[in-house]
Amino acid sequence: MSRAENGRRPRPRTLKVNPVACQGHGMCIELLPELIAADPWGYPLIAPGPVPDELLPLAQRAVNSCPTLALLLTSPE
């Protein structure tokens, strides 16, 4: 159940990389090219700003697929 169904406004969510954990496997770049691009060394570059609502399920899938759990979907404070 999403937060919107609780009657609360969904908080904007953003993608973030833990750069220590990230080893450049590139799963997220393959799975979410809408928001994630590869830098010259194969590490992810994330589009700035909150994740658009329609991409949230795909973003969550990319987060779940990261082999080193380095991709995070966070709510800004």
Q: Which residues bind other proteins (CB under 8 A)?
A: 17-24, 39-43, 45, 68
- Considering beta carbons, is residue 4 or 45 the nearer one to other proteins? 45
Beta strands per DSSP E along 1-77: 14-17, 36-38, 44-46, 71-74
Cβ 54 to other proteins shortest distance, Å:
26
Q: In this structure, are residues 5 and 25 in contact, taking their beta carbons and an 8 Å threshold? A: no
Cβ 43 to other proteins shortest distance, Å:
4
Cβ 38 to other proteins shortest distance, Å:
11
Q: In this structure, are residues 15 and 59 in contact, taking their beta carbons and an 8 Å threshold? A: yes
